[in-house]
Amino acid sequence: MISIENVSKWYGQTQVLHDCSTRIAAGEVVVVCGPSGSGKSTLVKCINALEPIQKGRIVIGDDVIPAPASKLSAIRARVGMVFQHFELFPHMTVLQNLVFAQVKVLKRSREEAHARAVGYLKRVGLASFEAKHPGQLSGGQQQRVAIARALCMDPACMLFDEPTSALDPEMVNEVLEVMTELAAEGMTMVCVTHEMGFASKVADRVIFMDEGRIVDDCHRDTFFGGTAQCSERAQRFLSKIISH
Amino acid sequence: MNLSLDWSVLPAALPFLLQGMGFSIALLAVSLLGGLVLGTGLALMRLSSNVLVSSFAAAYVSIFRSIPLVLAIFWCYLLVPMVVEAVRGVHTPIGPMYSAFIAYVLFEAAYFCEVIRAGILSVRRDQTSASLALGLTRAQTMRYVILPQAVRTMMPLILTKSIIIFQDTSLVYVISVSDFLGAATRIGQRDSRLIELYLFAGAVYFILCFAASKFVEARTHRKVAT
């Protein structure tokens, strides 16, 4: 489904990704974790070409990145993305947020786009919110709308960039529940997250990154197995974030 | 104390004054609309990664921000007919009214360029990412996601500026166009009642601009409160 092959990336002189390679099968859920500045968000943003790569390539289905600028829109439309700060469009209602790209990018009729939007809003439990503006919603609700917005595009896979780290603690679960359901339905997902509970229950695989390199890439049981099955660097990371 | 003011000339002068006010308002509307459209274009040019394009816009803004509006009015009054004649090859009278429209649009565009540019830069960068991630093109992203937010953010500045533009429309007297103040001047001179007409004109400007600025203030406060 997604194949990341020897990807390297530089910001000016600074190399932020070092020769990263991994494959993600259809239906697989992969959690990417690591300390801040390890390149995990950057790697995920490379998958839908929001960040250009200077070396290597990424294959998603039939699409290959790097691609000419004219093809990027179509590639991105097939990959759903959820951001840390939701990034709903504040000047549009919830419904307009969901309908907008369907009409502009997929050329769906307003009626069809509308029906789909209402369906997905219902799925994330926010059916009665369609006329509201994002500013009137809680963080958790906004993030669920953002997930619905991405799903409206019928993406082949979904990318999550720290979807719960900007949320108040009591709102984290409502978002994780939607993500867990999505995973159960067989959606291919790549999630950058520090929610180790989610990772250990929902993820098929865990990728651990440090200093722009993929250090560990293993089954979740291996990663969380404890007894020196993952790298020493990952164990140090885990002990730091789990012990509290 | 005897001020010996005579207001009896006013009623008869009203239709002419109203006509002048009509032109003032038309000039305001054209400068606002044209200035915003051209200014937005210039703002996009200034933000372009193409150095040639962005420095052209930067130069344009620098020039028009550094000269008095009166000078821009004169330039257009004298230069536009020459340019049109050079292009079309025949003498085409433009008239002071249209050259005033052109001068105000060109001049205010420089100001609105800076306002819109600041507005665009105030929108979070990830709004662009989110729009691109949905498959929208850069142009669509700018038009449907970034610009509406930029204009909304800058609305108080745009409204305040329109009040100033309204006051500045009186400068067209230098090319003998009769705006509201121009009309008042002509009648005042004709009837030797300049003081009365200037007092009246001042009162009208005050009422309109004061009411408008109170409106802008109330609107801004409401925004902040919610």
The alpha carbon of residue A136 is apart from the nearest alpha carbon of chain B, in Å, by 10
Domain that holds residue B87: 25-179
Q: How many CB atoms lie within 10 A of CB B18?
A: 11
| H/E run at residue A214 | strand A213-219
The answer to whether A153 contacts B135, with C-beta atoms less than 8 Å apart, is: yes
- Name the 3-class secondary structure at A154: coil
- pLDDT higher than 80, residue B28: yes
Cis peptide before A68, with omega less than 30 degrees from 0? no
Nearest CA in chain A to B133: A76
The rounded distance, in Å, linking the Cα atoms of B112 and B120 is: 12
The answer to whether A105 contacts B148, with C-beta atoms less than 8 Å apart, is: no
The rounded distance, in Å, linking the Cα atoms of B184 and B201 is: 7
Superfamily grouping for domain A2-243: P-loop containing nucleotide triphosphate hydrolases (3.40.50.300)
Q: What is the mean pLDDT of chain B?
A: 92
Cα-Cα-Cα-Cα dihedral of B26, B29, B32, B37, to 10°?
A: -100
Confidence of residue A237 (pLDDT cuts 50, 70, 90): confident
Of chain B, the percentage scoring pLDDT greater than 90 comes to 74
Q: Is residue B192 part of a domain?
A: no
Please, which residues 37-76 of chain A have a Cβ atom closer than 8 Å to chain B? 45, 48, 50, 72-74, 76
Residue B4: the pLDDT is 78
Tokens of B131: 């729009």
Task: Taking residues A74-95, report their average pLDDT.
Answer: 95
Confidence of residue A206 (pLDDT cuts 50, 70, 90): very high
pLDDT digits (tens, 9 = 90+) for B155-202: 999 999 999 999 999 999 989 888 999 999 999 999 888 999 999 999
Q: Provide CB contacts within 8 A for B5, sequence distance 6+.
A: B195, B196, B199
- The total of structural domains in chain B comes to 1
Tokens of B24: 């003032």
The answer to whether B149 contacts A90, with C-beta atoms less than 8 Å apart, is: yes
Candidates A63, A81, A82, A104: best to mutate against B (most CBs of B within 10 A) is A104
The rounded distance, in Å, linking the Cα atoms of A191 and B15 is: 71
Candidates A46, A86, A91, A120: best to mutate against B (most CBs of B within 10 A) is A91
This model's pTM is above 0.80? yes
Which of A50, A84, A150 comes nearest B132 by C-beta? Answer: A50
Which residues of chain A lie closer than 8 angstroms to B126, CB-CB?
Answer: 83-85, 87
Residue A28: the pLDDT is 95
Nearest CA in chain A to B128: A87
Q: Are strands A55-60 and A63-65 parallel, antiparallel or unpaired?
A: antiparallel
The rounded distance, in Å, linking the Cα atoms of B7 and A155 is: 75
Q: Is residue B195 part of a domain?
A: no
pLDDT digits (tens, 9 = 90+) for B35-88: 999 999 999 999 999 999 999 999 999 999 999 999 999 999 988 888 888 888
**Nearest C-alpha neighbor of A33 from the set A44, A48, A25, A23:** A44
Does A79 touch chain B if contact means CB atoms closer than 8 Å? yes
Which residues of chain A lie closer than 8 angstroms to B135, CB-CB?
Answer: 73-74, 76-78, 101, 105-106, 153
Residue A225: the pLDDT is 78
Q: Is residue B194 part of a domain?
A: no
ipTM of model: 0.92
The alpha carbon of residue B131 is apart from the nearest alpha carbon of chain A, in Å, by 8
Residue A234: the pLDDT is 87
The answer to whether B134 contacts A101, with C-beta atoms less than 8 Å apart, is: yes
The answer to whether A91 contacts B132, with C-beta atoms less than 8 Å apart, is: no
**Nearest C-alpha neighbor of A209 from the set A32, A15, A3, A27:** A32
Q: Is residue B12 part of a domain?
A: no
Q: What is the mean pLDDT of chain A?
A: 92
The answer to whether B129 contacts A87, with C-beta atoms less than 8 Å apart, is: yes
The alpha carbon of residue B44 is apart from the nearest alpha carbon of chain A, in Å, by 20
The rounded distance, in Å, linking the Cα atoms of A134 and A186 is: 29
Q: Is residue B206 part of a domain?
A: no
Which residues of chain A lie closer than 8 angstroms to B137, CB-CB?
Answer: 73
The residue ranges of every structural domain in chain A are 2-243
A9-23, A230-244, B20-34: range with lowest mean pLDDT? A230-244
Which of A48, A76, A83 comes nearest B126 by C-beta? Answer: A83
| H/E run at residue B159 | helix B147-168
Q: Is residue B160 part of a domain?
A: yes
User: Quick one: residue A74, left, alpha or beta (phi over 0 = left, psi -120 to 50 = alpha)?
Assistant: alpha
Residue B125: the pLDDT is 93
pLDDT digits (tens, 9 = 90+) for A25-81: 999 999 999 998 899 999 999 999 999 999 999 999 889 999 998 899 999 999 999
Task: Taking residues B85-92, report their average pLDDT.
Answer: 82
Q: How many CB atoms lie within 10 A of CB A85?
A: 18
Which residues of chain B lie closer than 8 angstroms to A80, CB-CB?
Answer: 133
The rounded distance, in Å, linking the Cα atoms of B129 and A146 is: 13
- pLDDT higher than 80, residue A228: no
Residue B91: the pLDDT is 78
| H/E run at residue A7 | strand A2-11
- pLDDT higher than 60, residue A222: yes
**Nearest C-alpha neighbor of A29 from the set A208, A210, A160, A215:** A160
Which of A48, A85, A101 comes nearest B136 by C-beta? Answer: A101
The alpha carbon of residue A49 is apart from the nearest alpha carbon of chain B, in Å, by 9
Q: Is residue B17 part of a domain?
A: no
In one-letter notation, the amino acid at residue A11 is Y
Of chain B, the percentage scoring pLDDT greater than 70 comes to 97
CATH of the domain at B154: 1.10.3720.10
Q: Which runs of consecutive H residues, i.e. helices, occur in chain A?
A: 40-47, 69-77, 94-104, 110-123, 139-151, 169-184, 196-202, 220-224, 232-242
